[in-house]
Amino acid sequence: MDTTSNLEEAVEVLQQLGLKEYEARCFVGLSRLHSGTAKQLSEMTEVPRTRVYDAIRMLEAQGLVEIQHSSPQQFRAVPLEEATETLRDQYDARVERLHDALETVEIVDTDDESSVQQVWAMTGQDAIENRTNDLIREATDEIVLVVGDESLLTEDLIDTLNEVGNGVDLLIGALTETIQDRIRVAVPEATTFISGLEWLHGENATVDETAIGRLLLVDRSTILVSSIMPTTREERAVFGEGFGNGLVVIARRLMAQGLLTVRDPKQ
């Protein structure tokens, strides 16, 4: 990625973190200078000079820019480590406010249909991993996880698996012995197995075929199945719960392949 692309990406990310476009462009511009005047900054960023002052005031208020009241005024960005920590704190504070606000919202239950046969779809590896981790933490009896794509065996997932309580059976399936060996080292308390679901592997599949990412069965009643899109590598998943849910019933039988009979989740 060239310098121009990096700069534009930085501007885009700053806007996603809550800065307005001119503020983001001014901050990125200052990050390239030891210090600069409004004129220099305007020429570098193509932000109108009169708007530079407004943007700088907002950046200063957020602790991202320092001002030297000389003639002309000089501006400089705070050190990168300090700026990223400040932005992280602000982002975390916003997320916490959102959580607190929505946590108190009253749930309106229409109760117009049973959840037994419902299947929900979700997209994005971060969201799917968060749901996976939540389901694992909620388990009270048994967790059966089949890892179909090694890239999904992240440090966060490994940490969550290692936090599973002693009263919960933890079984983790792999598609190859190499992945199984990695799981054994990373999650020593788990019972590992080579999955009998060879069709998950896609070793002989073409690059155009969608691959299974992960299969998770919790307490024999909750299932999450994800797939990896062949071109974008985007992860998508479906999620269902309830002993009578058809997706859960099928998954229990499929995931039984490769497990010891005594620990078969369909029993």
Nearest to 193 by CA among 215, 173, 217: 173
Three-state helix/strand/coil letters over the chain = CCHHHHHHHHHHHHHHCCCCHHHHHHHHHHCCCCCECHHHHHHHHCCCHHHHHHHHHHHHHCCCEEEECCCCCEEEECCHHHHHHHHHHHHHHHHHHHHHHHHCCCCCCCCCCCCCCCEEEEECHHHHHHHHHHHHHHCCCEEEEEECCHHHCCHHHHHHHHCCCCCCEEEEEECCHHHHHHHHHHCCCCEEEECCCHHHCCCCCCCCCCEEEEEEEECCCEEEEEEECCCCCCEEEEEEECCCCHHHHHHHHHHCCCCCHHHCCCC
CA atoms of 12 and 19, how far apart (whole Å): 9
Q: Which pLDDT score is estimated for 131?
A: 94
Q: Which pLDDT score is estimated for 267?
A: 47
Q: Which pLDDT score is estimated for 105?
A: 80
Q: Which pLDDT score is estimated for 251?
A: 63
Q: Which pLDDT score is estimated for 149?
A: 82
Q: Which pLDDT score is estimated for 213?
A: 85
Listed in order, the ranges of the chain carrying CATH 3.30.870.10 are: 119-263
Overall pTM > 0.85: no
Question: Which residues, in sequence order, are bridge partners of residue 192?
Answer: 172
Q: Which pLDDT score is estimated for 128?
A: 93
Q: Which pLDDT score is estimated for 88?
A: 92
Q: Which pLDDT score is estimated for 261?
A: 41
Q: Which pLDDT score is estimated for 241?
A: 77
Q: Tell me, which fold does domain 119-263 have in CATH?
A: Endonuclease; Chain A (3.30.870)
CA atoms of 73 and 58, how far apart (whole Å): 16
Listed in order, the ranges of the chain carrying CATH 1.10.10.10 are: 3-102
Q: Which pLDDT score is estimated for 26?
A: 96
Q: Which pLDDT score is estimated for 178?
A: 86
Segments of the chain with pLDDT less than 70: 1, 109-117, 196-210, 242-267
Question: Which residues, in sequence order, are bridge partners of residue 171?
Answer: 144, 191
List CB contacts of 127: < 8 A, sequence separation 6 or more: none
CATH-assigned architecture of domain 3-102? Orthogonal Bundle (1.10)
